Homo-oligomer: A and B are copies of this chain.
Amino acid sequence: MKTKVREELKLKKQAYVQEEILTAAATLFAETGIRAVTIDDIASSLGYTKSVVYYYFKNKNQVLWEIFQRIHEAWSQDMTSIMESDLPPAELLGAMIRQHALNVMGRKAWTAIYFRDQGELTTDQQKIIVKRKREYDQLFKSAYTKGVEAGIFRDIPTYLVVSGIIGMANFTHAWFKEGGAMSPEEIADHYVEIILNGCKKN
């Protein structure tokens, strides 16, 4: 069946162009905000015309939604693989903070979009994102709770601690510059230390 081979090739090429468009779109969205970016902008940043984008995506919302999907997939994979390694509470929470911070700094555009532009999605899509964010927070919460139960973390409301961690890490997207004085790893490690010390029971 040559048709099958051809079909696959076609899909691969399409997938490639789609990813290319998504990457370009994400960069532009992050820079100036979704509303400020036209489909023309996305297309011409790749040397295409508007119609090409519409050939690969139904509409602007689908482009945005696919970006959200990519972000979620990547982040949740990273995080769950950490959860599986059963480290003791402090090390576990530390690894999670570190990973989240690295993710943010490694893909600043993603963070900007994921946390700033949720409101551009449809209400149904927003519901999904809210739920996913809750699940993501939940991973941090359970790690912290374990630490409290083990008597090594102070008994502070977990959502407060977790939000603080996420907020602290997310904010790096606003100031971190690739190739600056500190590497993402150093920055992440400092934050891990601040939080772990800050929450340590003494």
Contacts of A169 in B (CB 8 A): 167
A89 to B181, CA, bound (A): 26
Evaluate contact between B171 and A163: CB separation under 8 angstroms: yes
Known: A167-B169, A197-B198, A197-B200. Contact between A157 and B36, CB under 8 A?
no
A196 nearest in chain B by CB position:
B198
What 1/0 mask marks residues of chain A from 103 to 120 whose CB sits below 8 Å from any chain B CB?
A: 000000000000111011
Report yes or no: B163 in contact with A33, Cβ–Cβ below 8 A: no
Any B CB within 8 A of the CB of A139: no
Q: Which residues of B contact A36 (CB under 8 A)?
A: 35, 119-120
Tell me if A170 counts as interface (CB < 8 A to partner B): yes
Task: Given A36-B35, A167-B171, answer yes or no on A156-B120 (Cβ-Cβ < 8 Å).
Answer: no
Is A191's beta carbon under 8 Å from chain B? yes
Contact A120–B33 (Cβ < 8 Å):
yes
Q: Determine the residue in chain B with the shortest Cβ distance to A164.
A: B168
Residues of B within 8 A of A181 (CB): 157
Q: Is A81 an interface residue (CB 8 A)?
A: no
Interfacial residues, chain A to chain B (CB-CB below 8 A): 31-33, 35-36, 115-117, 119-120, 156-157, 159-161, 163-172, 174-175, 181-182, 187, 190-191, 193-200
For this complex, 9 residue pairs linking A to B, each with C-beta atoms less than 8 Å apart, are A35-B36, A115-B174, A160-B187, A163-B171, A165-B168, A167-B169, A171-B171, A194-B195, A197-B200
Extra 6 A-B pairs, beta carbons < 8 Å, given A157-B182, A198-B198: A35-B36, A161-B194, A167-B170, A168-B171, A170-B171, A197-B197
